[in-house]
Structure 1
Amino acid sequence: MNTIDNNYTYAFPAIRGLQAKKEYYVTMFPLKLVTKIFFNDLQELPPEYRAQRVINRSRLPEIARYIIDNPEDYVFSSLTASIDGDLKFIPFSQESQFSDLGNLIISMDSKFLINDGQHRRAAIEEAIQHRPELGNETISIVFFRDEGLRRSQQMFSDLNKHAVNTTKSIGILFDHRDPIRNLTLELIESIDLLRDFTDKEGNSIPKFSPKIFLLSNIYEANKLILSDFNKNEIESTEKEFIFKYWSLICNNIKEWQQVKNKQLNASALRDNYIHSYGITLESLGAIGNFLLKNGKHLLTEDFINKLNNINWSRQNLEDWKDRAIGPNGRITKNKQCVVLTANIIKKRLGLALTQEENIIESRFEQNKRRK
């Protein structure tokens, strides 16, 4: 290690650790210092000469807004960075129990490279522009010695290779700030069928699972019901409508009731019918939105019971092919398919299609005739 000129150094209280026989250091940085020390000036370099990905600017407003909107309970994980320059660690004490607590001294001409967290760094910078007081708060930094481009690229790969995204359902389940999430969980707990047969964790339901619904699908259906309404402040009348709507649906779809009463296996339901899948639940959400805006008076037992006049079988390709079922015979879901599936359900319920739904339906029929 080269001798450090103590007149031109940074000094940070730090904890020293050991990984793969190499020292690393954990310290705390004020957020305003993070934006000054760490730069992202690699945008123009070819990928093979970079040690990190180019920042996706479209992600920054959402991350920054998260900090700005939640100044009293936002949470950020540590940044991981490499130091290309002279550094030394000076323990506060030579006693063994304190030997890994000390000051990390870094030459001021050192270069700092973020190996993991450049989007967080950029979002912090944006958030401080809106709320300067955030600059005095801190974030933990894990520092490693820079050992060249090859090692830095490997660190980036290692840090990201084993990261596993949470499922959408878990993300919803744990997000207490989301009013639609809160309403959805309250709804599920209030209806026996939903409470007993909703998987609150997975992105998909395993073949032999006793569940028939996914939390994420019910959540998305409720989002559709409340589209065009203020989702941050759900009115009591809207909440009452949603609870009544799903209660009537759950009580009147006979195959769902057969699963509840152990007359039909959940796996057999999913194998043979489409009405517990996300595309159908979201289609019912779109219909709920239509009723909430135009036909609350229609929300009766007799009206919802008409759902049993629909042939929900996966073998019913006359109705569901290229709507809820793709060319390969699998359940499909995209925005257009949700509209097309909702169109069939609305027709069976005797509801008029909107102008936009009519346009999509006409195009669908034209393409069908060409095939």
Structure 2
Amino acid sequence: MLQTASDVNPNGNDNNTQRPSARIILLPTQLDAQMQAFADATTSGARSFACHVYEQGGRTHLSFSLSLTVLLELARLQTAEAKKNKSNADELINRPIIRPHVEEIAKYLLETDNYILPPFIFNTNTPIKVFAFGEGVVKFGYAVISSNVELYVTDGQHRLEAIKKVLPEKPELRKDSVTVLVVQEDDVDQIHQDFADCAKNKPIPPALLAAFDVNDVLAKLTRDIAKNLVIFSGRVDKISKTIGKDPNYLFTMNQLKIGVAEFLFGSSRKQVIESRSNLSNGEFKAMVERAETFYMEFAKNNEIWKLLLQPASQTANLDLYAFRQQRIDFLTVGFQIISRVGHRIFFGQEFTYAQKETLIKALASLDYGRDNPLWENTVVIDDGSGSKKIVTQTAAVDKAVKVAINEVRELTGINLL
């Protein structure tokens, strides 16, 4: 708990010796706290850092804002090695470094100017002396950190390694700072629990990630399409993981993103999408225009999709769940098939406007019913009890795309391969 100056034992030990705790010395004013900290640091060869002091979960927490340079100077890692520490990883503070995760963060820092990093959490088993002032539950103070105080990373080792990696390439990051929370703790089990508790935040659902991640080029393209096209506007669930039985929504944001990837890049595989991440503004605008043209033309020429040309507010009685039970084009796999054939039409060969129009009409005229033998043993199989089961594997989608391309060729005489 927070102590006044009179509460602190002169020999530097807390009255409660069972657990380490920050040694908080409360003083009347900020000037008093600042002068005492400066004097203490000067005489002991330590460094003084401004911080906020508060209680949480029975422990005193210190919150700092540190430059990246100082962060790297102070942070210590005690990382388990995947091969070396198989049997005693629980005795070390940090889990093994996951290099792909470090690379992912490093790439983000290099490519994103307005980046954001969550706070780091450190622990120390050496009490930190803090000269503080204030009457509220959150106090301001000056922490004196001497050379014998070791600050080990509880949460943030991958961010720390990524910063080390990118600084030679992006030295201007040294001017930036981060938030660091220091918790007094010497129990390794509790340190591990602190890390586990930090990881209990629910991951962002794919739909929300597609809706919120402005640095993801594909997500940005998908948001524009969802907003600009009447067939999708108001019919895309931007929160849920799945649509379920909801009759009002066509796709989740993530499902729409998968289909848009198929149209734009000819694939929704992660490696293909990442290879196209550095689009210029001109390419971005051109792709959105082509996607909007394709999906609108498809809807105009398909008897069922034509119903979506009216705003969602005017088609409240349209049961999209029923369509999902009857058809494949209202499911992700069907949308993938349509979109990938669309990619062949707009990006595969140099077709004339009239040829594109003919090809889209042919694609829209196909029967996308689950019972159509056209899709049997590709994305639709008989489950043995008379029901038609949807298959979502990549190989099944690839096979169905070939079927669709062959059908379009039969109808138009134009080869898309």
Bin of the TM-score, shorter chain as denominator length: 0.7 to 0.9
Structure 2 residues without counterparts, runs of 5 or longer: 1-8, 14-39, 267-274
Query: Relative to 1, partners in 2 of residues 1:318 and 1:284: Cα closer, same or farther, differing over 3 Å?
Result: closer
> Does residue 248 of structure 1 match 2:306?
no
Larger displacement relative to structure 2 (271-280 or 221-230): 221-230
After TM superposition, the structure 1 = structure 2 runs for residues 104-143 of structure 1, keeping only pairs within 5 Å, are 104-143=143-182
TM value normalised by structure 1: 0.83
> Does residue 82 of structure 1 match 2:120?
no
Match of 2:12 among 3, 23, 27: 3
> Does residue 313 of structure 1 match 2:369?
yes
How many correspondences in the alignment?
A: 349
Amino acid at match of 1:150: D
Match of 1:349 among 398, 403, 408: 408
Distance 1:353 1:59 in 2: 39
Contact kept in structure 2, 1:13 and 1:103, CA below 8 Å:
yes
SS at match of 1:109: coil
Query: Relative to 1, partners in 2 of residues 1:258 and 1:222: Cα closer, same or farther, differing over 3 Å?
Result: closer
Query: Relative to 1, partners in 2 of residues 1:318 and 1:240: Cα closer, same or farther, differing over 3 Å?
Result: closer
Once the 2 structures are TM-superposed, how far is the Cα of residue 177 of structure 1 from its aligned partner?
3.3
Distance 2:208 2:167 in 1: 30
Query: Relative to 1, partners in 2 of residues 1:126 and 1:283: Cα closer, same or farther, differing over 3 Å?
Result: same
Contact kept in structure 1, 2:54 and 2:138, CA below 8 Å:
no
Give the share of equivalent positions with the same residue, in percent: 17
Query: Relative to 1, partners in 2 of residues 1:8 and 1:327: Cα closer, same or farther, differing over 3 Å?
Result: farther
Aligned to 2:50: 13
SS at match of 1:54: coil
After TM superposition, the structure 1 = structure 2 runs for residues 68-217 of structure 1, keeping only pairs within 5 Å, are 68-71=110-113, 73-91=114-132, 93=133, 95-97=134-136, 100-161=139-200, 163-217=201-255
Amino acid at match of 2:53: R
Distance 2:66 2:382 in 1: 52
Larger displacement relative to structure 2 (24-33 or 180-189): 180-189
TM value normalised by structure 2: 0.75
Once the 2 structures are TM-superposed, how far is the Cα of residue 8 of structure 1 from its aligned partner?
4.1
Amino acid at match of 2:154: N
Over aligned residues, Cα RMSD in angstroms? Answer: 2.9
Amino acid at match of 2:250: I
Contact kept in structure 1, 2:51 and 2:64, CA below 8 Å:
yes
Aligned to 1:63: 105
Query: Relative to 1, partners in 2 of residues 1:3 and 1:63: Cα closer, same or farther, differing over 3 Å?
Result: same
Query: Relative to 1, partners in 2 of residues 1:202 and 1:352: Cα closer, same or farther, differing over 3 Å?
Result: farther
Aligned to 2:351: 296
SS at match of 1:195: coil
Query: Relative to 1, partners in 2 of residues 1:75 and 1:238: Cα closer, same or farther, differing over 3 Å?
Result: closer
Once the 2 structures are TM-superposed, how far is the Cα of residue 164 of structure 1 from its aligned partner?
0.9
SS at match of 1:82: strand
Q: Which structure dedicates a bigger proportion of its chain to helix?
A: 1
Aligned to 1:278: 332
Aligned to 1:367: none
Contact kept in structure 1, 2:370 and 2:380, CA below 8 Å:
no
